[in-house]
Structures are given as structure tokens and as C-alpha cells.
Amino acid sequence: MNLHELTIHEALDLLKNKKISSLELTRAVFERIEAVESSVDAYISLTKDIALARAAAADKAISENDIKPLTGIPVAVKDLICTKGVATTCASKILENFIPPYDATVMEKLNAAGAVMVGKVNMDEFAMGSSTENSGFKVTKNPWNLSHVPGGSSGGSAAAVAADMCLGSLGSDTGGSIRQPASHCGVVGVKPTYGRVSRFGLVAFASSLDQIGPLAKDVTDAAIMLQVLSGYDPKDSTSIDKPVPDYRAALSGDVKGLKIGIPRQYHTSNGMSPDVLTAVQNAMNFYKDAGAELVDISLPHSQYAVAAYYLIAPAEACSNLARYDGVKYGLRDKESSSLIDMYRNTRSSGFGPEVQRRILLGTYALSAGYYDAYYKKASQIRTLIRNDFMQAFDACDIILSPVTPTPAFKIGENTDDPLTMYLSDIFTLSANLAGIPGLSVPCGISGDGLPIGLQLMGNYFAETTILNAAYCFEQATEFHKLRPEL
């Protein structure tokens, strides 16, 4: 048995029955990281000493029968979630030396649940990107084919799970940044309802869209992690005070009578890979055979999601990123003699090209004379997109679609033209604009041997419904058990 290959729920059973120790498990994960990290480049930093100390503490707790939901489980954390005393870089030169003096709420929750953080994982700088090529430090590779991207922006989170370099990870999803890399790497990724998981201590990109969520080897693990992460946090003014259901207990695998909406616009899009279409069609057939009812629905405004998103997200980003001014933390250009020069020189040398592009775009969209034409217009379209979903959920319980039009593309293939890259987010952006939950579950392998994910979206706070539907599919298929050869 290779310990690093275990799922969280398998490892928890073995830990509880004292068949393995957390130290053995954690060491096995670090051995795996040492063996494959030079190929995958998933991690920005490793926290081995802290991890081994926490693993030892977990073993002691287990011996005293003090067992929490993630006691002794090695996890990775996207490097935009603040970790007290451990560098949090956002994959940006501007935060390269930033050591948070506090933990994000999700880190407090992970720590309280007994998890063992093994390191911080790579991402597109400030979560802006769909390939992890925009990292200020390195390009993460897709473990299934090292010449392909892992997706993004949570590319390190997805690659680390797929390559068994952790048992589960945290990512963040502003326009698909959990679901798309999960799909490209063949793992499960969940974007919860906006407000379900606290954003306190998450480095902000677009505050009305950002949401933290788990990436995991299977649906059960994702449910266990989501349980730990969810809940009201007074430190996040957008956090929603609503009871958290028992996600794992909701995994019955029964979808009889479940109404699954099939958006007609999502299956006729140009540029769809035939492999993706076939895999999604197979999943639809599976659900029908399992007793679910497929319902034709319409999301007529989803064709405007990319345009609305790429005004709203950069507008919010340029405002959020104004804080990187070289004064309070992060990089400072020390040569500048005036304050304004210091701002400009610091920001120009600290931000990478995609971040600068989005800051410029957002600034333009918010600037005098353009606000109504761009930001307000996009926010009105956002209402229409949200209304589409509300209407759809009158007719169905969940919505099924592809995650992305194609499997993972090649490294370097899309870097010249940002717009092409943006258009690949077509199926995932709407859920962020509407604030509803969505997930990706493995549903196929392309002819080139790359994973394909299935997206399930649910109504507000209906995480249990989409998790259970994904679980039903997963239990009947083997895709989640496939692992890349490294």
C-alpha cells in the first residue's frame, strides 16, 4: 500500500484503527513530493518541519481518542490563503516576502480539525488566469501530460492532488478557478455558494465573486473538507449565517426523481471538443438510467457571461489591488525619491503582465465617463444571468454541463491572446456571477489521455444536492480512481 495514494476517508479509517500513523502518512507524502515535484512544480513552499510536528501531535491526539474530522491528514493550501508565520505570496513578486501575522479563517478551521499542512501550492498570480502559466515563480505541469497546463488559477492545488502530493487541497474560485483545474487534472473540485465559506484571510481578487473550496480525490473527501471549511464567520461581512448540513451524510447515491437541467446553449457552443461532448453525453445517459429526469432548460444570457465577467472581475481587482503600494507590506521600490514614484515603480516591478493588464482594464472600465457603459452595464447583465438561473431552478434541481470546452491545452498555446484564454471560462463564470455552487467531477478521458470533468451546479446552499449527484455518478464509474503515471 502506497500511503500517499490514499483518499482522506481511507486514511482517516486507517488512522482511527491505528493501522498507520500520521507521521508515516505525512512522511510518505513528503517522499512522494520529493520524487515528483521536479516534474510537476506544484508547490511554492513546503512546510515540512511544521507538518511533522503537527503529525506527531495528531498521533498523540489519536492515541488519546481525540479525533477530529481531518486529524493527521496532509493537505496543501493555495498560496493566497493567509497562513500565520508562513509566507503567502499569491504567486506574485509583490508579495514574495509577505509573512501573514494571522491565519485565514479557513486555516484556523483546518488546524482546529487536525489537518497537517504540507505546503503552499502554485497558482496564477493573484488568481488571474486559467493555466497557472501566470505564476510569478514557475509553471505547474499537468501530471497527466507534463507538456499540458493543469488549468488555473488553482493549478497547483489540482496538480498536487492528482499527483498524490497531498490528500486534499484548498483552492479558490472566482470564475472557475477550482472547477476548471479539477476538471483538467481529473480530481473533484467544489466552489461553494457565495457566503458559505469565509473569505477572511483570502487575498482578494474580485470580492463579490471569490469563494474558497476544496479539491479532493473523490466526492466523499470533498464533502469532508467542505464540512470543515463551511460556516458563518463574523470576520467576513459577506458570510451567511445559515446552518451547515452534514455533507457526507447526504451522500446516498440516490438520484431517482432528481430533475437535472440541461442548458441547451451549453451543448451547442462552437469550439467544443468531441471528446468532451461525448463524455458529458455519457453522463447524461447515466443519470437518465439511474432514474433522474433530464429537463431541457434555457440560460439565454449565459452567452454574455464572459463579457460581463471580464468587466466586473477586473473592476473589482483594480480596486482590491490598489493596496499594493509598497507602504505597509510586500515589495517596495527603494530607489524612488517621491511617494508617487514609489507607488508606480513598486507596482510595475511587482505585478506580472496579466495582473497589470487586468488592472488597466478594470481602471478603464471604472474611469470617468465609462462607468455606466462598462461596469454598470455588466452589473445589469449580471442580474439577467442570475435571473436565468432562478428561473431554471423552478424547473430543475441541478444543472449539468461541461466544465470547459476542451481538455487541458498545451503550455504556451494560449499565452499570446488573453481573450482566447478568457473565452475558455464560458461554462464556469456564470456560477460566480450568480453566486451559486458548482463542482467538477471526473467523467471521462480524452483520446489524448487527458481527464474531462463534468460540471454540476445547484441552487443557493444546495451543495448537498450536487455532491450527492456527483457521488452517484462517481460510485458507478472508475474515472476518479484513475491516476496519472509519473
Write out the binding residues for other proteins, residues 75-104 only, by CB under 8 A: 97-99, 101-102
- For other proteins, which residue of 48, 68, 267, 357 counts as binding (CB under 8 A)? 357
Considering the complex, state which of residue 220 and residue 345 has its C-beta at the smaller distance from other proteins. Answer: 345
Does the protein bind other proteins through residue 197 (CB under 8 A)?
A: no
Among candidate residues 21, 78, 92, 172, the one labeled active-site is: 78
Considering the complex, state which of residue 327 and residue 395 has its C-beta at the smaller distance from other proteins. Answer: 327
Segment near other proteins (CB under 8 A); pick from 34-42, 56-64, 192-200, 437-445: 192-200
- For other proteins, which residue of 377, 415, 482, 486 counts as binding (CB under 8 A)? 377
- For other proteins, which residue of 202, 361, 470, 472 counts as binding (CB under 8 A)? 361
**CB 214 to other proteins: min, Å:** 20
Number of H helices, E strands in the chain: 15, 11
Does the protein bind other proteins through residue 195 (CB under 8 A)?
A: yes
Per CB under 8 A, which of residues 10..49 are in contact with other proteins? none
Segment near other proteins (CB under 8 A); pick from 19-27, 178-186, 346-354, 474-482: 346-354
- Which spans in 41-129 are helix H? 48-63, 105-112
Q: Which residue in the block uniquely carries the three cell numbers 439577467?
A: 384
Half-sphere exposure of 204 (CA within 13 A, CB side): 20
Per CB under 8 A, which of residues 438..467 are in contact with other proteins? 460
Q: What is the dihedral of CA 262, 268, 273, 275, to 10 degrees?
A: 40
Q: Are 79 and 90 in contact (CB under 8 A)?
A: yes
Among candidate residues 153, 183, 401, 424, the one labeled active-site is: 153
- For other proteins, which residue of 384, 445, 482, 486 counts as binding (CB under 8 A)? 384
CA 200 from centre of chain: 16
Among candidate residues 177, 302, 440, 446, the one labeled active-site is: 177
Per CB under 8 A, which of residues 229..248 are in contact with other proteins? 234, 237-240
Q: How many residues bind other proteins (CB under 8 A)?
A: 75
Residue 244 cell numbers, joined: 451547515
User: For residue 212, which amino acid is it?
Assistant: I
Considering the complex, state which of residue 100 and residue 168 has its C-beta at the smaller distance from other proteins. Answer: 100
- For other proteins, which residue of 16, 264, 285, 360 counts as binding (CB under 8 A)? 360
Half-sphere exposure of 77 (CA within 13 A, CB side): 35
- Which spans in 372-413 are helix H? 377-395
Residue 228 cell numbers, joined: 470543515
**CB 176 to other proteins: min, Å:** 15
User: For residue 240, which amino acid is it?
Assistant: I
CA dihedral sign of residues 199, 200, 202, 204: positive
Is residue 177 part of the annotated active site? The answer reads yes
Q: What share of the chain is helix, strand, coil (3-state, %, to 5)?
A: 45, 15, 40
**CB 179 to other proteins: min, Å:** 16
**CB 104 to other proteins: min, Å:** 14
**CB 465 to other proteins: min, Å:** 17
Does the protein bind other proteins through residue 380 (CB under 8 A)?
A: yes
**CB 323 to other proteins: min, Å:** 11
Cβ count within 10 A of residue 262: 17
Considering the complex, state which of residue 65 and residue 337 has its C-beta at the smaller distance from other proteins. Answer: 337
**CB 253 to other proteins: min, Å:** 29
Strand order in the sheet with 168-172: 43-46, 116-121, 74-78, 168-172, 212-216, 188-191, 438-445, 451-458, 398-402, 259-263, 293-297
Q: Are 222 and 169 in contact (CB under 8 A)?
A: no
**CB 237 to other proteins: min, Å:** 4
Does the protein bind other proteins through residue 390 (CB under 8 A)?
A: no
Considering the complex, state which of residue 49 and residue 241 has its C-beta at the smaller distance from other proteins. Answer: 241
Segment near other proteins (CB under 8 A); pick from 67-75, 248-256, 353-361, 398-406: 353-361
Is residue 78 part of the annotated active site? The answer reads yes
**CB 333 to other proteins: min, Å:** 9
Show the CA angle centred on residue 188, arms to residues 442 and 55, nearest 5°: 140
Considering the complex, state which of residue 148 and residue 347 has its C-beta at the smaller distance from other proteins. Answer: 347
Helix pair angle (377-395, 305-320), 10° resolution? 120
Q: What is the dihedral of CA 158, 405, 298, 260, to 10 degrees?
A: -50
Per CB under 8 A, which of residues 104..163 are in contact with other proteins? none
Does the protein bind other proteins through residue 422 (CB under 8 A)?
A: yes
Whole-angstrom Cα distance, residue 349 to residue 76? Answer: 29
Whole-angstrom Cα distance, residue 114 to residue 243? Answer: 22
**CB 312 to other proteins: min, Å:** 9
Contact map string, positions 324 to 343, toward other proteins, x by CB under 8 A: -xxxxxxxx-x-xxxxxxxx
Q: Is 232 helix (H, G, I), strand (E, B) or coil?
A: coil
Contact map string, positions 281 to 320, toward other proteins, x by CB under 8 A: --------------------x--x-xxx-xx------x--
Whole-angstrom Cα distance, residue 277 to residue 458? Answer: 21
User: For residue 353, which amino acid is it?
Assistant: P
CB-based burial of residue 348 (10 Å sphere; 0-12 exposed, 13-18 middle, 19+ buried)? Answer: exposed
**Residue numbers annotated as active site:** 78, 153, 177
